[in-house]
Amino acid sequence: MSILSLFVVIPVLMLLGLWLSRNLNQVRGVMVAGSTCLLLLSVWLTVTFVQMRGAGNTDAMLFTYSVPWFKPLNIAYSVGVDGISVVMLLLSSIIVFTGTFASWQLKPMTKEYFLWFTLLSTGVYGFFISIDLFTMFVFYEVALIPMYLLIGVWGSGNKEYAAMKLTLMLMGGSALLILGILGIYFFSGADTMNVLEIAAKHNIPVEVQKVFFPFIFIGFGVLGALFPFHTWSPDGHASAPTAVSMLHAGVLMKLGGYGCFRVAMFLLPEAARELSWIFLILTTISVVYGALSACVQTDLKYINAYSSVSHCGLVLFALLMMTRTACTGAILQMLSHGLMTALFFALIGMIYGRTHTRDIRKLGGLMKIMPFLSVGYVIAGLANLGLPGFSGFIAEMTIFVGSFENADTFHRTATIIACTSIVVTAVYILRVVGKILFQKVADPHYETLTDATWDERFSVCCLIFSVAGFGLAPLWASNVIGDAVGPILQNIL
């Protein structure tokens, strides 16, 4: 039994605990205890992982463990982590932990809400630890389905429509995925579902790869907000409750980028090399298009959703650049965007909870009324536009330097176009900050509103601390990720 299984066992125990709990305090108790355990576990895992790597352990995956699950199809419950999964697990734990506090006051049906929330995180954790294609897919589905209920029941605005749209589009992606997974399985000899073993065999004919690469890349790309399959994101985020937005933009969208890298590019390397140009065009469009769209939105969550399209586009963009530096940057960007967006959505949720509007035309002068939330919002905004000292800067710089390592005109042009997004990002962030936080108080009713409560403060502070922590001391994360990216890219180049 590997220690990694705890990442699934703890949430399952939490589910049990939630099911048994009688009142709100017990629910909260279970959530806090569970998410704290998960956070400590992932911190411990990160430290141990770094130590083991430092001690010279160069296995592709550490803490590996495998039990056969369904023999006829060679499906096994196989787990293992490399540097990429370790930081993703850390990210997930931070978001689940802070998300718990961000939904502290949530009503009604708190217990049910947390049940689905925990189920969702089970899927996320399971996805990041598994190295078996089918197990990965199962956890992926476990993570997607609760979203439908979480948005449909606890959401706001046009929630039924948004929930339906999000679920259908992501399910459409899943349909492509399962086809791709089966394709990989059968054409690699139909004797294993283990990612590492398939990669080591490296025996899928190039023509076949070229057929299945788009299936997998688009399948995961839908979740990673790949243009033009990103439209679930604005509606979905706008309608989702705070913690769900956090978890969704913060972690779930990372499943897309992670999958594209771990499955599509790792297992179908030749196709990745040959077809990357098509997707590179799409992601370059994503980056600029998302940023430009965000400039004219009026709903805070829409702005952030489009900003996510732009930033997640940058993740896929960097992956497709296929240099070690760029891919390291992509993973750093996943980490950084996860934390920053979670912070943003948390703050937007808290502001919305008070003002009951997210329309920036109706907001104004919040700095005077809720200084804590507003300062948090300014920090989140500055982090988002890539201010040095926050994680966004290191991720973007790594990506741009890495992308520039491709010296041909096509890649250069794409890189320079993507660079323009740093200006557009500044435009939409400062536009919002200037409108809603500064200037005169827009509505006299706002004068009576209160600033953040302790649970909200705690949640926001944790996130700011993480964003600044990664931004100030990026060396270890960059090294851990870089070591993990290397072997995967070796397969491609």
Partner 1 sequence: MDYSFVFLILLLPALTFVVLGLAGMKMSHKVAGLIGTTSLGIVTVLSYYTAFCYFTAGRGADGTFATLVPYNFTWLPLGALNFDLGILLDPISVMMLIVISTVSLMVHIYSFGYMHGEKGFQRYYAFLSLFTMSMLGLVVATNIFQMYLFWELVGVSSYLLIGFYYPLHAAVAASKKAFIVTRFADMFFLIGILLFGYYTNSFSFSFAGDIVMGNGAAPFIPVDVVKAVAAGGFIIPTALVLMFIGGAGKSAMFPLHIWLPDAMEGPTPVSALIHAATMVVAGVFQIARMFPLWIEYAPEQMSIVVYVGVFTAFYAAAVACAQSDIKRVLAFSTISQIAFMMVALGVCLPGHEAVLDNHAQLGYMASMFHLFTHAMFKACLFLGAGCIIHAVHSNEMSAMGGLRKYMPVTHITFLISCLAISGIPPFSGFFSKDEIITACFAYSPVVGWIMTGIAAMTAFYMFRLYYGIFWGTENKELHAHHTPHEAPLTMTVPLIILSVITITCGWAVNFGSFVSASGQDYQIHLDTQVAVTSCVIAVISIALATYIYKGEKQPVADMLYRRFPKLHRAAYKRFYMDEVYMFVTHKIIFRLVSTPIAWFDRHVVDGTFDFLAWGANEGGESMRGWQSGDVRHYAVWFLSGAVALTLVLLCI
Q: Is 121 exposed, middle or buried (0-12, 13-18, 19+ CB in 10 A)?
A: buried
- Least separation in angstroms between CB 467 and partner 1: 15
- Least separation in angstroms between CB 426 and partner 1: 4
Q: How many CA atoms lie within 13 A of 210 on its CB side?
A: 8
68 belongs to the binding site for partner 1 (CB under 8 A): no
281 belongs to the binding site for partner 1 (CB under 8 A): no
158 belongs to the binding site for partner 1 (CB under 8 A): no
Q: How do strand 75-81 and strand 62-70 relate by DSSP bridges? A: antiparallel
Phi, psi of 438 (to 5 degrees): -95, -170
- Least separation in angstroms between CB 370 and partner 1: 14
- Least separation in angstroms between CB 404 and partner 1: 4
CB 291 within 8 A of CB 425: yes
CB atoms within 10 A of CB 68: 10
Residue of the chain from 3, 13, 419, 449 that contacts partner 1 (CB under 8 A): 419
> Which C-beta is closer to partner 1: that of 188 or that of 478?
478
231 belongs to the binding site for partner 1 (CB under 8 A): yes
- Least separation in angstroms between CB 328 and partner 1: 8
CA-CA-CA-CA torsion sign (53, 55, 58, 59): negative
Residue of the chain from 39, 76, 402, 460 that contacts partner 1 (CB under 8 A): 402
Residue of the chain from 97, 118, 478, 488 that contacts partner 1 (CB under 8 A): 478
- Least separation in angstroms between CB 449 and partner 1: 17
Residue of the chain from 97, 127, 289, 377 that contacts partner 1 (CB under 8 A): 289
User: Which residues, 436 to 475, sit near partner 1 by CB under 8 A?
Assistant: 437-440, 474-475
Beta bridge partners of 77: 67
- Least separation in angstroms between CB 184 and partner 1: 27
User: Which residues, 336 to 395, sit near partner 1 by CB under 8 A?
Assistant: 365, 367-368, 382, 385-389, 393-394
Q: Which span (10-18, 75-83, 244-252, 321-329) binds partner 1, by CB under 8 A?
A: 321-329
398 belongs to the binding site for partner 1 (CB under 8 A): yes
Beta bridge partners of 299: 359
CB 91 within 8 A of CB 481: no
> Which C-beta is closer to partner 1: that of 133 or that of 288?
288
Residues constituting the chain: 493
- Least separation in angstroms between CB 381 and partner 1: 11
End-to-end CA distance of the chain: 35
Phi, psi of 186 (to 5 degrees): -75, -40
> Which C-beta is closer to partner 1: that of 168 or that of 175?
168
Q: Which span (44-52, 254-262, 342-350, 434-442) binds partner 1, by CB under 8 A?
A: 434-442
Residue of the chain from 6, 106, 281, 422 that contacts partner 1 (CB under 8 A): 422
CB atoms within 10 A of CB 168: 12
d(CA 411, CA 219): 24
Q: Which helix (H) or strand (E) holds 67?
A: strand 62-70
Q: Indicate the residue type of 316.
A: L
Number of residues that bind partner 1 (CB under 8 A): 55
> Which C-beta is closer to partner 1: that of 100 or that of 310?
310
Task: Output the CA torsion 350→352→356→359 (10° steps).
Answer: 160
Task: Output the CA torsion 428→434→435→437 (10° steps).
Answer: 120
336-370: string of b/e by CB count within 10 Å (b at 16+)?
Answer: bbbbbbbbbbbbbbbbbebbeebebeebbbbbebb
> Which C-beta is closer to partner 1: that of 118 or that of 391?
391
- Least separation in angstroms between CB 201 and partner 1: 29
Using left for φ > 0, alpha for ψ between -120 and 50, and beta otherwise, residue 363 falls in beta
> Which C-beta is closer to partner 1: that of 348 or that of 429?
429
Residue of the chain from 53, 159, 237, 324 that contacts partner 1 (CB under 8 A): 324
CB 52 within 8 A of CB 16: no
- Least separation in angstroms between CB 122 and partner 1: 29
Q: Which helix (H) or strand (E) holds 426?
A: helix 421-432
d(CA 32, CA 308): 28
Site string for partner 1, 13-52 (x = CB under 8 A): ----------------------------------------
Q: How many CA atoms lie within 13 A of 439 on its CB side?
A: 14
Q: Give the footprint of partner 1 on this chain (CB under 8 A).
A: 165, 168-169, 227-228, 230-231, 289, 292-293, 295-297, 323-325, 365, 367-368, 382, 385-389, 393-394, 397-398, 400-402, 404-405, 407, 415-416, 419-420, 422-423, 426-427, 430-431, 434, 437-440, 474-475, 478-479, 482
